[in-house]
């Protein structure tokens, strides 16, 4: 049986005081969890299971995004530890995963220990197998062993006799320098039965994994330790200070490698570098890096350039907002001195600002990120209360801070809005879905647009991932309002200069606006996810349109993933009530992929799933939609339906009580971030979907 790894990533990390899980805090612009996954992959471990807990949805979204970037590796599985009751309890959550790998060996490691290398993991596994052990502890001798469990060895055989925690150690034991790193190789068949024997008879009432080693030793199983010479493998981060230490160590290692490759770094202070991949880049002789530089990911210097101060590279290119400078730097030329001649530089709380007198010289370094703006206006991202999580993700994708604003209500229910920074001359993007409560969210958007218009913003773009009232786009009967047109007029009159939205219920709504509308499609995100899931088995799947109105959408979706198309003829008796009539196409013996733009009360999608299975003979149903409205009886209907998996985008925030186990939610932030970047640079948005 193939070996596997279980990564413990459920911890909250209270002392980090972060809005992200601790394992997603970054070391050299790279989440600690990604360091650990890379180490496991580098050691030849492809079957991974990540135990999530605190803010688990963020970790799960990160794992999905990582899997999409690395199709050569199987996507890591994840299980939820809903209550954090210790490391052994976390491993218990992965018992089903471990049982599937019975007969092999399992690596248990922490998701916040970024310096555990593939060489150490591989060396420990060889030592574990050659000695026929039931458990091998990866140990080290750091400079300061305080706080770590000590490895007590048998004086005769050298085998591990005990792991003694700091609080339980006597003076003799505290003198031992060999400590437990928190990473273990277990024989899977030995680990599974011992997990149920671990007790929580301690002050914290938690189940600790070192007790598994103690129990195995008590049963006369073979236990040993693989001691690595690299003391940094034990290092983790529980607060910002420790995270800074990890960044300093990692940065020093990268700088040492660069200098070993012949890169001239006369003053390392002020140079920020990112984590390098394992394949080394070749740098020409006399290439140099100078202070006040940031670099993320892989660095490859051109022929003899001197990369001097106040410029920011990401990979082999500039930050997206600096691309006008890209050509000059790639050729090794300095930026013309006139760009900086009028600049005034000051420091405040370790942040750098450059303000220039001319519009073409406008530049800003904020929190160490160099932003160039050749339109003469800054770019700023704001949000109201509808979907702040997506707005924050968009800002992070663009490496920008969130705009400082607040939207609240007065005691009588009226909306109050405050801007806490200047937007004069800025290119402002307001992220606000007009989802439930629809009318409140629309008013928040209108009031924020009006406030920015009166504050002299140069351009205001309303970023509306989900556009409410879109289904009221025509007069279905006499004296019906066309509410979608009314909302479009309100947004235009309030002062918006442009609208950026996704998957309007009817494409003609774009014509309701008298301002430019950029209409993004959710199909590329959904189809990419499902295409990876399907692999080469496209003949086993069929894309189904749940009604005649979605045929064009389903046809394009089917073409993207290379599957045949079927159509369900559905007739609606009254509002929010539908009846499935018959299926046009062959779904017998196949897995069905139902495609729609939104799921409201879920009547259409659930009836379609039932028709495909009960009438058409389909073997399973996967449903996907851009907008998860999920009003009224939607959750109960989906829970009792024949849908095995529902894939959604996060254009509408999904409350915890509405999130079912078979839901998969994909982030839209990267797509919106790219569109915002293109709008800012006056580039077309349509090539994103070609």
Look at residues 584, 597, 588, 517 and name the one whose alpha carbon lies nearest to residue 556. Answer: 597
Domain shared by 588 and 650, yes or no: yes
Domain shared by 259 and 361, yes or no: no
Those residues with Cβ within 8 angstroms of residue 37's Cβ, 6 or more apart along the chain or in another chain: 7, 48, 50, 66, 76
> Of 234, 266, 288, which residue sits at a domain end?
234
Domain shared by 100 and 176, yes or no: yes
> Of 234, 255, 278, which residue sits at a domain end?
234
Of 238-242, 278-282, 324-328, minimum mean pLDDT range: 324-328
SS3 of 5-43: the string is EEEEECCCCHHHCCCCCHHHCEECCEEHHHHHHHHHHHC
Examine residue 397 and say whether the peptide bond preceding it is cis (omega within 30 degrees of 0). Answer: no
For the chain, how many structural domains are there in total? 5
Q: Which domain holds residue 590?
A: 523-667
Q: Indicate whether 142 pLDDT > 70.
A: yes
Over range 406-419, report the average pLDDT.
93
- Is 17 inside any structural domain? yes
- Is 675 inside any structural domain? no
Domain shared by 362 and 471, yes or no: no
Assign 364 to helix, strand or coil.
strand
pLDDT score, position 240 = 83
Q: What is the CATH number of the domain that holds 389?
A: 3.40.50.2020
Of 80-94, 284-298, 481-495, 500-514, minimum mean pLDDT range: 284-298
pLDDT tens for each residue of 663-687: 999 999 999 999 999 999 888 998 8
Look at residues 363, 367, 365, 372 and name the one whose alpha carbon lies nearest to residue 350. Answer: 367
Q: Which residue has the tokens 């591989």?
A: 122
What DSSP state is assigned to residue 265?
-
Strands (E), 350-419: 351-355, 363-366, 369-372, 379-383, 405-409, 415-419
C-beta separation of 249 from 115 below 8 A: yes
Domain shared by 514 and 651, yes or no: no
C-beta separation of 292 from 266 below 8 A: no
Look at residues 113, 406, 91, 371 and name the one whose alpha carbon lies nearest to residue 236. Answer: 113
pLDDT score, position 360 = 34
Assign 162 to helix, strand or coil.
strand
- Measured CA to CA, the distance from residue 355 to residue 235 in angstroms comes to 40
Domain shared by 45 and 153, yes or no: yes
**Neighbouring C-beta atoms of residue 551, cutoff 10 Å:** 15
Of 95-104, 137-146, 283-292, minimum mean pLDDT range: 283-292
Domain shared by 9 and 135, yes or no: yes
Domain shared by 281 and 360, yes or no: no
Domain shared by 225 and 155, yes or no: yes
pLDDT score, position 287 = 53
Assign 500 to helix, strand or coil.
strand
Long-range contacts, 148-152 (Cβ 8 Å, 24+):
148/179, 148/180, 148/234, 149/179, 149/180, 149/210, 150/174, 150/176, 150/178, 150/179, 150/180, 151/176, 151/178, 151/179, 151/180, 151/225, 152/176
- Measured CA to CA, the distance from residue 578 to residue 550 in angstroms comes to 15
Q: What is the CATH number of the domain that holds 217?
A: 3.90.550.10
C-beta separation of 282 from 257 below 8 A: no
pLDDT score, position 259 = 80
Query: Which one is catalytic: 355, 570, 590, 639?
Result: 570
477 has catalytic annotation: no
- Is 346 inside any structural domain? yes
* Class of residue 403 by CB neighbours under 10 A (exposed 0-12, middle 13-18, buried 19+): buried
Domain shared by 529 and 436, yes or no: no
pLDDT score, position 581 = 67
pLDDT tens for each residue of 339-348: 333 333 333 3
Average pLDDT of the chain? 82
- Is 677 inside any structural domain? no
DSSP states along 215-255 = HHHHTT--EEEEEES-GGGG---SSHHHHHHHHHHHHHHHH
Domain shared by 86 and 211, yes or no: yes
For 648, phi then psi, to 5°, come to -130, 165
- Is 673 inside any structural domain? no
Domain shared by 51 and 153, yes or no: yes
Q: Indicate whether 389 pLDDT > 80.
A: yes
Provide the token pair at 668: 């839209």
- Measured CA to CA, the distance from residue 495 to residue 509 in angstroms comes to 19
Q: Indicate whether 281 pLDDT > 90.
A: no
- Is 475 inside any structural domain? yes
pLDDT score, position 338 = 35
Q: Indicate whether 640 pLDDT > 70.
A: yes
Q: List, in sequence order, every residue forming a beta bridge with 353; answer none if it has no partner.
A: 346
- Measured CA to CA, the distance from residue 580 to residue 107 in angstroms comes to 50
> In the structure, what pLDDT confidence band is assigned to residue 63 with cuts at 50, 70 and 90?
very high
Of the chain, the percentage scoring pLDDT greater than 90 comes to: 53
pLDDT score, position 688 = 82
Q: Indicate whether 429 pLDDT > 60.
A: yes
pTM: 0.52
- Measured CA to CA, the distance from residue 509 to residue 470 in angstroms comes to 7
Strand-pair category, 26-27 with 30-31: antiparallel
> In the structure, what pLDDT confidence band is assigned to residue 11 with cuts at 50, 70 and 90?
confident
> In the structure, what pLDDT confidence band is assigned to residue 569 with cuts at 50, 70 and 90?
confident
């Amino acid at each position: 049986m193939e070996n596997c790894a279980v990564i413990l990533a459920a911890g909250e990390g209270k002392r980090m005081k972060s809005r992200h899980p601790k394992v997603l805090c970054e070391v050299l612009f790279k989440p600690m969890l990604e360091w650990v996954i890379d180490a496991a992959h580098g050691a030849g471990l492809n079957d991974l299971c990540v135990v999530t807990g605190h803010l688990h949805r963020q970790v799960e979204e990160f794992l999905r995004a990582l899997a999409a970037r690395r199709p050569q590796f199987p996507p890591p599985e994840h299980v939820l530890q809903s209550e954090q009751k210790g490391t052994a309890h976390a491993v218990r959550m992965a018992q089903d995963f471990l049982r599937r790998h019975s007969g092999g060996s399992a690596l248990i490691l922490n998701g916040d220990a970024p310096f555990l290398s593939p060489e150490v993991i591989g060396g420990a596994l060889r030592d574990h197998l050659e000695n026929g052990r039931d458990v091998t502890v990866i140990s080290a001798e750091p400079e300061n062993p305080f706080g770590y469990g000590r490895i007590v060895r048998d004086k005769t055989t050298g085998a591990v006799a005990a792991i003694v925690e700091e609080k339980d150690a006597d003076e003799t034991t505290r003198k031992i320098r060999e400590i437990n790193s928190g990473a273990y190789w277990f024989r899977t068949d030995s680990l599974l039965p011992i997990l149920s024997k671990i007790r929580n008879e301690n002050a914290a009432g938690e189940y600790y994994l070192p007790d598994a080693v103690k129990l195995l030793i008590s049963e006369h199983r073979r236990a040993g330790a693989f001691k690595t010479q690299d003391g940094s493998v034990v290092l983790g981060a529980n607060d910002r200070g420790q995270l800074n230490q990890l960044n300093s160590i990692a940065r020093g290692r990268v700088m040492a490698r660069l200098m070993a490759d012949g890169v001239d770094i006369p003053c390392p202070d002020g140079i920020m570098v990112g984590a390098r991949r394992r394949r080394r880049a070749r740098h020409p002789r006399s290439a140099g890096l100078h202070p006040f530089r940031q670099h993320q990911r892989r660095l490859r210097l051109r022929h003899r350039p001197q990369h001097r101060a106040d410029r920011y590279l990401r990979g082999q290119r500039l930050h997206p907002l600096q691309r006008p400078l890209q050509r000059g730097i790639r050729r090794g030329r300095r930026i013309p001195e006139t760009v900086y001649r009028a600049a005034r530089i000051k420091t405040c709380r370790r942040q750098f600002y450059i303000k220039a007198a001319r519009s073409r010289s406008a530049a800003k370094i904020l929190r160490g990120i160099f932003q160039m703006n050749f339109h003469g206006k800054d770019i700023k991202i704001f949000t109201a209360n509808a979907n702040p999580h997506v707005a924050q993700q968009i800002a992070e994708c663009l490496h920008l801070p969130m705009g400082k604003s607040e939207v609240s209500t007065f005691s009588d229910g009226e909306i109050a809005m405050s801007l806490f920074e200047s937007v004069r001359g800025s290119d402002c993007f307001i992220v606000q879905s007009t989802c439930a409560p629809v009318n409140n969210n629309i008013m928040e958007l209108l009031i924020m647009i009006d406030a920015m218009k009166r504050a002299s913003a140069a351009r205001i773009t309303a970023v509306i991932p989900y556009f409410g009232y879109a289904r009221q786009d025509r007069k279905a009967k006499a004296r019906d309002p066309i509410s979608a047109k009314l909302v479009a007029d309100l947004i235009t009159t309030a002062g918006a200069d442009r609208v950026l939205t996704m998957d309007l219920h009817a494409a003609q709504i774009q014509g309701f606006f008298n301002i430019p509308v950029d209409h993004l499609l959710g199909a590329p995100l959904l189809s990419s996810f499902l295409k990876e899931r399907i692999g080469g088995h496209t003949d086993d799947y069929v894309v189904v349109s749940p009604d005649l109105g979605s045929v064009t959408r389903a046809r394009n979706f089917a073409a993207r993933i290379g599957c045949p198309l079927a159509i369900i003829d559905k007739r609606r008796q009254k509002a929010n009530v539908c009846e499935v009539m018959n299926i046009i196409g062959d779904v017998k013996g196949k897995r069905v992929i139902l495609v729609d733009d939104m799921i409201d009360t879920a009547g259409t999608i659930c009836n379609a799933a039932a028709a495909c299975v009960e009438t058409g003979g389909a073997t399973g149903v996967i449903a996907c939609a851009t907008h998860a409205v999920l009003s009224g009886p939607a959750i109960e209907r989906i829970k009792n339906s024949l849908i095995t998996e529902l894939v959604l985008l996060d254009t509408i925030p999904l409350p915890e009580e509405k999130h079912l186990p078979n839901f998969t939610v994909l982030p839209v932030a990267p797509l919106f971030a790219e569109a915002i970047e293109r709008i800012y640079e006056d580039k077309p948005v349509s090539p994103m979907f070609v």
